[in-house]
Amino acid sequence: METEARDASTAEPASEVESGADSESESVIPEVFLARSGSDYATIDEALQEVLRAIRQHMGMEVAFISEFVAGERTFRYVDRDEDAPAIEVDSGEPIEGSYCMRVVDGRLPQIIPDAWELRAAEEIPATRAVPVRAHLSVPIRLSNGQIYGTFCCFSTTPDPSLDRRDLAVMRVFADFAARQIERRSVIVSERHAARERIQGVLDERGLYMLAQPVFAIGDSAPVGFEALARFSSGPLRPPDQWFEEARRVDLHEDLTALAVDEAVNSLERLPGSASLSINIEPDAVISGEAGRLLARADARRIVLELTESRRVEDYDHLRSELAHLRSLGIRIAIDDFGAGYASMRHVLELRPDLVKLDRSIVSDVDQDGDRRALVAAIVAFAEETGTRVVAEGVEKVSELEQLVAMGVDRYQGYLLGRPMPIVDCADYRLPDDLAPVLAAA
Per-residue pLDDT, 152: 95
Q: Give the residue-averaged pLDDT of 298-319.
A: 88
The domain 2-188: what is its CATH number? 3.30.450.40
Domain boundaries, the chain: 2-188, 206-435
Q: Contact 177/50 with Cβ under 8 angstroms? A: no
Confidence band, pLDDT 50/70/90 cuts, at residue 442: low
Sign of CA dihedral 14, 15, 21, 22: negative
% of the chain with per-residue pLDDT over 90? 78
pLDDT, tens digit, for every residue of 123-137?
999 999 999 999 999
Q: Which helix (H) or strand (E) holds 403?
A: helix 398-406
DSSP one-letter string for 348-366: HHHH--SEEEE-HHHHTTT
Q: Which helix (H) or strand (E) holds 332?
A: strand 332-338
- The whole-model pTM stands at 0.79
C-alpha to C-alpha distance for 426 and 434, rounded to whole angstroms: 19
Which CATH architecture fits 206-435?
A: Alpha-Beta Barrel (3.20)
- pLDDT above 80 (res 309): no
pLDDT, tens digit, for every residue of 4-22?
333 333 334 333 334 444 4
